[in-house]
């Protein structure tokens, strides 16, 4: 198949969506499929990328580490024509997601959409953030999903949320897979030595994009609270983003800077070594749809302490491969870290083995095979439908092609109108409650 991936984030941006697109792209290509990735331009992009079309974009939108694509896609039409995609896979409902919808409708191709993100958790990047804005993005992403032939949900809990919100398009659970072999390798002791972490330290780790929606102020506070009780404990932080400063401030406030070890970026094979250097992975995000770093940590045999949330509860099994906490309490989180740190070696070894077993369920091979089978099914379904339409009335097919171009613009406009209406109704309701 010729698979066209359209995403607003891609390498070298660090984040779950970018890594998901990279992982699936690599897996599909290994299986003999062609993949064209359409993504924004980013600073320090790789050179000589294989089958990647870059779109001009505004860098560091509103102080974030995101790029926002500009509505000028000069050579995209020519690239699409040359590639001849069999299907379009959109990874966002906005920006390039709209372009994906237009291309799919214009070329009569299946459109698949992965609902990677709980978008209402990211409205703080948009001027005028409010409850009404959150309602707007939820309505807009739901409407977009209903214009697609198939929706991928990264976890079962996200699939349930989407159905409750009114997504009636077919939904299938397809998690981003982890390269088990890659994360089984690496040198934890060597990484500790390089980071000046004592060999006998109890290392609490975290990896990811350091941004407010990841609940990192709470996480840093809880980890620091534990470090104050355990002099042998250190915190290994891997990642970069706007929350770096507050994390460092918390550790400085508690005189723990010497036990905070921060590296901004790691790629394989050092990434695996970073995980291998950890005894425990700490995670407090409530905005995930899957939490890829959890499966990566577990592939390295690292148990997890995390808050119960969609995308997390499918991975972390309380008492089996870590601790899943029902409440956001600094004391409770620090106590959970302490409970695992004090486990006897045999019990900790069991948690580590259970973590590795969990990761196998989310292997890259399994996820790619599932996605490709669903691609084939939706293509077959659409082809049968087109065949029937042509058989019934060939002239109708020509008319339908012309109308489709008009309808796609109307559908996009209607999404915006409906979402705006929902936002205003939400704001009016809040105003009445306050009165």
d(CA 37, CA 49): 10
pLDDT per residue as tens, the chain (435 positions)? 999 999 988 876 566 788 889 999 999 999 999 999 998 887 777 777 889 998 876 544 444 444 455 555 667 888 999 999 999 999 988 778 888 888 998 899 999 999 887 654 543 444 444 465 567 677 778 888 888 999 999 888 889 989 998 899 999 999 989 989 999 888 999 999 999 999 999 999 999 889 888 999 999 999 999 999 999 999 999 999 899 999 999 999 999 999 999 999 888 889 999 999 999 999 999 877 777 899 999 999 999 999 998 889 989 999 999 999 999 999 999 999 999 999 999 999 999 999 999 999 899 999 999 999 999 999 998 877 754 444 445 433 433 454 455 456 556 655 655 665 666 565 555 555 555
Q: In what order do the strands lie in the sheet with 260-263?
A: 260-263, 233-238, 202-207, 280-283, 304-307, 322-325
User: For residue 241, what are its two tokens?
Assistant: 């983003």
CATH number, span 180-361: 3.40.50.2000
Predicted local confidence at residue 125, as pLDDT: 42
How many CA atoms does the CB half-sphere of 167 hold within 13 Å? Answer: 26
Predicted local confidence at residue 105, as pLDDT: 86
Pick the CATH number of 2-177+377-434 from 3.30.1360.200, 3.40.50.2000, 3.60.15.10, 3.40.50.620: 3.40.50.2000
d(CA 372, CA 251): 46
Q: What are phi and psi of 285, to 5 degrees?
A: -65, 140
Please list, in sequence order, all residues whose beta carbon lies within 8 angstroms of the beta carbon of residue 243, skipping any fewer than 6 positions away: 210, 211, 212, 214, 216, 217
Domain spans, the chain: 2-177+377-434, 180-361
User: For residue 302, what are its two tokens?
Assistant: 């690292």
User: Judging by beta carbons within 10 Å of its beta carbon (0-12, 13-18, 19+), is residue 404 exposed, middle or buried?
Assistant: middle
d(CA 110, CA 418): 24
What is the H or E stretch that residue 68 is in? strand 68-69
Residue 315, strand partner residues: none
User: For residue 275, what are its two tokens?
Assistant: 């995980």
- 294, 324 contact by CB (below 8 A): no
Q: What are phi and psi of 283, to 5 degrees?
A: -150, 125
- 222, 251 contact by CB (below 8 A): no
Note the residue count of the chain.
435
Predicted local confidence at residue 123, as pLDDT: 39
pTM above 0.85?
Answer: no
């Amino acid at each position: 198949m010729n698979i066209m991936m359209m995403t607003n984030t891609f390498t070298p941006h660090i984040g779950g969506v970018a890594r998901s697109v990279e992982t699936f792209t690599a897996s599909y290509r290994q299986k003999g499929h062609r993949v064209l990735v359409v993504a924004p331009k980013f600073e320090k992009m790789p050179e000589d990328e294989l089958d990647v079309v870059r779109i001009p974009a505004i860098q560091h939108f509103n102080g974030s580490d995101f790029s926002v694509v500009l509505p000028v896609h000069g050579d995209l039409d020519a690239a699409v024509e040359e590639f001849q995609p069999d299907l379009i896979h959109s990874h966002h409902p906005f920006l390039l997601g709209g372009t994906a919808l237009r291309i799919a409708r214009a070329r009569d191709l299946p459109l698949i959409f992965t609902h990677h993100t709980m978008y209402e958790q990211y409205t703080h990047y948009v001027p005028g953030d409010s409850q009404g804005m959150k309602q707007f993005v939820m309505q807009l992403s739901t409407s977009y999903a209903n214009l697609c032939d198939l929706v991928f949900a990264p976890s079962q809990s996200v699939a349930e949320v989407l159905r409750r919100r009114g997504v009636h398009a077919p939904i299938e659970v397809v998690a981003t897979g982890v390269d088990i072999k890659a994360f089984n390798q690496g040198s934890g002791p060597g990484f500790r030595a390089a980071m000046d972490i004592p060999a006998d330290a109890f290392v609490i780790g975290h990896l990811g994009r350091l941004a407010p929606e990841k609940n990192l102020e709470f996480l840093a506070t809880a980890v620091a609270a534990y470090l104050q009780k355990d002099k042998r404990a250190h915190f290994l932080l891997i990642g970069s983003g706007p929350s770096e400063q507050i994390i460092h401030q918390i550790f400085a406030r508690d005189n723990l800077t010497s036990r905070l070890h921060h590296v901004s970026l790691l790629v394989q094979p050092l990434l695996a070594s970073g995980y291998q250097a950890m005894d425990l992975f700490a995670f407090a995000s409530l905005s995930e749809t899957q939490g890829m770093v959890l499966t990566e940590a577990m592939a390295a045999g690292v148990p997890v302490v995390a808050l119960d949330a969609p995308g997390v509860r499918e991975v972390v099994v309380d008492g089996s491969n870590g601790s899943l906490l029902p409440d956001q309490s600094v004391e409770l989180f620090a106590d959970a870290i302490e409970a695992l740190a004090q486990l006897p070696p045999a019990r900790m070894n069991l948690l580590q083995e259970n973590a590795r077993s969990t990761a196998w369920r989310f292997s890259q091979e399994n996820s790619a095979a599932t996605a490709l089978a669903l691609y084939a099914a939706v293509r077959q379904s659409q082809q049968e439908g087109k065949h029937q339409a042509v058989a019934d009335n060939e002239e109708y097919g020509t008319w339908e092609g012309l109308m489709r171009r008009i309808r796609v613009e109307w559908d996009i406009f209607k999404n915006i109108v409906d979402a705006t209406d929902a936002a205003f109704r939400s704001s009016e309701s809040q105003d009445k409650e306050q009165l």
